[in-house]
Amino acid sequence: MEKLSIVKIGGNIIEDEASLSAFLKLFSGLEGKKILVHGGGKRATHVASKLGIESKMINGRRITDAETLEVITMVYGGLVNKNIVAKLQALNTNAIGLTGADINSIKSDKRPVKEIDFGYVGDVKQVAHNAINKLIQANFTPVFCAITHDGNGQLLNTNADTITSQVAVGMSELYETSIYYCFELNGVLKDINDKNSVVKHIDSDTYKDLLEKGIIADGMLPKLENCFDALHNGVSKINMGNTSMLTQENDNFTTITL
């Protein structure tokens, strides 16, 4: 089975021009077929405040009202996405920027209102892997921003980590898929205050152990739940660490397998 790499970059990389350029160089050099997924929450907050729109967060998650959705569509789908695509073209990577509405690639349901009404936020329900594959087979590199749609004309703000894992699950019907979650840490850390205390390999048993010891907690919990969900649904392996894990030289990051 042919290999496919799906790489997700966080907001801190997007915000820093030098980090973004360095990352895109590494991404361009990545061999084989690939997909890039990005968010852009910090930039959206910044643009919203310039427009006099207050960003509302609950438990670190953005409440997306109609005004905020307009800003997110402009920033994620326009400003950030097209900037990345243009930089990739300069590096000879023939990228195509997409939301989940393009080629009907990622459909979501609007998140139901329970204790909190998140507004126009989507939970992914369907990935059109065959449609995405047509682009890949034509030697295009898809670059997805964190927006999906409901199939009835409504765009939805969607978590970029979730888009990454769901696209990887969909594409695993056609490829041996690996995910790379790039962020500012070197990987999953044994000790949050020691950036070199990387747990290099996590499997189902290690995962239970780390949970019991409280080493995996807070923001890492949903990330790793997401990872194991993807692994149980066809993804072959997941890597977490800083952008240098895309090079052959660096082996100081976390690899997660079943």
What is the side-by-side order of every strand in the sheet holding 106-110?
Answer: 122-127, 106-110, 147-149, 155-157
Residue 77 is assigned to a ligand binding site: no
Give me the count of residues in the chain. 258
Q: Are 252 and 241 in contact (CB under 8 A)?
A: yes
Q: Are 233 and 172 in contact (CB under 8 A)?
A: yes
**Percent helix, strand and coil across the chain, each to the nearest 5:** 40, 25, 35
Beta strands 237-241 and 254-256 are antiparallel
Give, to the nearest 10 degrees, the angle between helix 220-232 and helix 204-212: 160
Q: Are 142 and 36 in contact (CB under 8 A)?
A: yes
Residue 59 is assigned to a ligand binding site: no
Residues whose CB is less than 8 angstroms from the CB of residue 122 and which lie 6 or more positions away in sequence, other chains included: 100, 108, 109, 110, 111, 148, 149, 150, 156, 157, 158
Residue 61 is assigned to a ligand binding site: no
Residue 62 is assigned to a ligand binding site: yes
The annotated binding site is made up of 40-41, 62, 157
The annotated binding site for substrate is made up of 40-41, 62, 157
